DNA sequence: ATGGTTTTTACTGCGTC
DNA sequence: GACGCGGTAAAAACCAT
């Protein structure tokens, strides 16, 4: 039976509910203040500016058909962290001036020179080329892990910070990029196990673990701990289990004694919970399958089964009031 | 480096299909 | 006999100090 206070877990930790999209990379806080005037989002806890220039990324015009779209478009795509120049680079075009007239002769030659200088000035081969490589690696890993673009963006921000602080010296871009994705995923409560990330990355697990550790030290990342429940969705979809199993697994974890689960690999806890929930609901998966999905061994799953509650916590009545109880007007 | 804890590896036995 | 499951012992990995 679950104890009375099982409803509110981790009393010492702030409940990560205020913002379900983001946690502050500095302090892990999840409460944010919007500074409209400056267009900034600021962590309410430590004051770190999380995003600035929070401009409306969409166009300021509307188009109702492709022709209007063509006519009204003035600017290129929106600002994005996923380009080495944030998508804001400028280019000097060919052939025509601002009035649409052809340019020739002296002016044309001048434009050519300007183009060359511009290119040389804006595209710094060293740093930017590496950023380009890192960003494409971040994007690749993120997608391979079925993580949303917001994770890639957080990872990209982290990577830039890492580079700005000289973290890259003597370290591989690939491992650092992967470490950023791993950390960013955890920040957004969409953790992936370390070895799952390593599988997709161009780095060994050891390499990734070491790099991640150093990275979080260097950037003072307050990465929130991984809750087993956060891993459930990923495993559930891997095994094609119904949502009811996932929900029951979540309640099984809730009903368990917390002391027995701390320090244990959260993936193993999630795996055991899904296994037991599946059994109880007649959607049996084998220990082998669930262990494979979670990246642990069957032995470990069995060990966790002993730590896990036998029966799920009480149904959260407030969440979905059962229609049967509702008074029926005749 | 060290020592405590957790996880993995390897192996065994039992029941079921 | 193959498979799933449960267990154990020892080695390996991990982590804080």
Return positions of chain C under 7 A from a protein CB.
Answer: 3-9, 14-15
Nearest nucleotide, CA A213 to C1': C15
Asked if pLDDT for residue A320 goes beyond 50, the answer is: no
- Could you report the per-residue pLDDT of A194-215, keeping only the tens digit for each? 888 888 888 888 888 888 888 8
Q: Are A252 and A309 in contact (CB under 8 A)?
A: yes
Residue A51 is classified by DSSP as E
Higher per-residue confidence, A83 vs A308: A308
**Residue showing tokens 């989002």:** A41
In this predicted structure, what is the pLDDT of residue A222?
78
Is the sign of the CA dihedral A135, A137, A143, A145 positive or negative?
A: negative
Residue nearest to nucleotide B10 (CA to C1'): A299
Residues in chain A: 330
CA A79/CA A99 separation, integer angstroms: 26
In this predicted structure, what is the pLDDT of residue A51?
47
Q: What is the per-residue DSSP string for A287-311? A: HHHHHHHHTS-HHHHHHHHHHS-SS
Q: Residue A32: beta bridge partners?
A: A43
Which token pair is A282?
């007649």
Q: Which of A46-55, A96-105, A143-152, A182-191 has the lowest mean pLDDT?
A: A46-55
Identify the band that residue A236 occupies on the pLDDT scale cut at 50, 70 and 90: very high
Read off φ and ψ for residue A50, nearest 5 degrees.
-85, -40
Residue A143 CB lies within 7 Å of the nucleic strand C: no
Per-residue burial over A217-235, b if 16 or more Cβ lie within 10 Å, else e, is eebebbbbebbbbbbbebb
Residue A87 CB lies within 7 Å of the nucleic strand C: no
Return positions of chain B under 7 A from a protein CB.
Answer: 5-11
Q: Which of A50-59, A63-72, A236-245, A258-267 has the lowest mean pLDDT?
A: A50-59
In this predicted structure, what is the pLDDT of residue A152?
94
Which token pair is A114?
């300007």
Q: What number is the average pLDDT over the span A119-147?
A: 79
- Could you report the per-residue pLDDT of A245-264, keeping only the tens digit for each? 999 999 999 888 878 887 78
Asked if pLDDT for residue A145 goes beyond 60, the answer is: yes
Mean pLDDT, chain A, rounded, equals 73
Whole-angstrom CA distances from A258 to A3, A42, A192, A233, A300 are 11, 33, 21, 21, 18
Residue A306 CB lies within 7 Å of the nucleic strand C: yes
Which token pair is A231?
């891993």
Residue A262 CB lies within 7 Å of the nucleic strand C: no
Is the sign of the CA dihedral A284, A287, A292, A295 positive or negative?
A: positive
Q: Residue A33: beta bridge partners?
A: A42
Residue nearest to nucleotide B7 (CA to C1'): A300
Residue A133 CB lies within 7 Å of the nucleic strand C: no
Residue nearest to nucleotide C3 (CA to C1'): A286
In this predicted structure, what is the pLDDT of residue A148?
92
Round to a whole number and report the distance in Å from the CA of A206 to the C1' of C12.
Answer: 14
N- to C-terminal Cα distance for chain A? 39
Share of chain A above pLDDT 70, in %: 59
Residue A206 CB lies within 7 Å of the nucleic strand C: yes
Identify the band that residue A7 occupies on the pLDDT scale cut at 50, 70 and 90: very low
- Could you report the per-residue pLDDT of A92-122, keeping only the tens digit for each? 666 666 666 676 667 677 777 777 766 665 5
Asked if pLDDT for residue A330 goes beyond 60, the answer is: no
Identify the band that residue A154 occupies on the pLDDT scale cut at 50, 70 and 90: very high
Element (H, E) at A69: helix A66-72
Asked if pLDDT for residue A18 goes beyond 50, the answer is: no
CA A274/CA A248 separation, integer angstroms: 8
Confidence (pTM) = 0.65
Identify the band that residue A53 occupies on the pLDDT scale cut at 50, 70 and 90: very low
Identify the band that residue A164 occupies on the pLDDT scale cut at 50, 70 and 90: confident
Element (H, E) at A33: strand A32-35
In this predicted structure, what is the pLDDT of residue A66?
60
Helix axes A228-238, A266-280, angle to 10 degrees: 60
In this predicted structure, what is the pLDDT of residue A325?
39
Torsion (CA) A296, A298, A302, A307 in degrees, nearest 10: 0
Which token pair is A75?
């600017």
């Amino acid at each position: 039976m679950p104890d009375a206070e099982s409803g509110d877990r981790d009393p010492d930790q702030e409940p990560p509910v205020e913002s379900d999209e983001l946690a502050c990379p500095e302090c892990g806080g999840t409460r944010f203040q919007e500074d409209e005037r400056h267009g900034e989002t600021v962590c309410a806890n430590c004051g770190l500016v999380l995003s600035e220039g929070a401009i409306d990324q969409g166009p300021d015009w509307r188009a109702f058909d492709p022709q209007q779209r063509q006519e009204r478009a003035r600017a290129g795509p929106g600002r994005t962290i996923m380009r080495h120049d944030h998508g804001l680079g400028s280019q000097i075009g060919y052939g025509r001036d601002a009035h649409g007239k052809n340019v020739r002769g002296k002016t044309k030659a001048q434009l050519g020179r300007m183009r060359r200088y511009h290119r040389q000035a804006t595209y710094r081969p060293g740093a930017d080329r590496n950023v380009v490589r890192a960003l494409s690696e971040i994007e690749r890993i993120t997608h391979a892990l079925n993580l949303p673009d917001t994770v890639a963006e957080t990872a990209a921000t982290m990577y830039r910070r890492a580079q700005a602080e000289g973290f890259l010296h003597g370290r591989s871009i690939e491992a650092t990029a992967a470490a950023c994705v791993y950390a960013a995923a955890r920040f957004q409560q969409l953790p992936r196990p370390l070895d799952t990330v390593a599988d997709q990355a161009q780095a060994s697990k050891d390499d990734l673990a070491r790099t991640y550790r150093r990275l979080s030290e260097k950037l003072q990342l307050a990465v929130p701990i991984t809750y087993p429940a956060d891993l459930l969705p990923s495993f559930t979809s891997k095994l094609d289990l119904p949502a009811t199993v996932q929900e029951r697994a979540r309640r099984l974890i809730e009903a368990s004694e917390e002391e027995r689960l701390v320090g244990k690999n959260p993936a193993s806890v999630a795996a055991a919970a899904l296994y037991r929930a599946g059994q109880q609901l007649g959607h049996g998966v084998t220990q082998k399958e669930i262990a494979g999905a979670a990246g642990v061994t069957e032995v470990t799953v069995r060990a966790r089964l002993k730590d896990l509650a036998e029966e799920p916590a009480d149904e959260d009545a407030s969440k979905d009031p059962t229609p049967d109880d509702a008074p029926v007007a005749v």
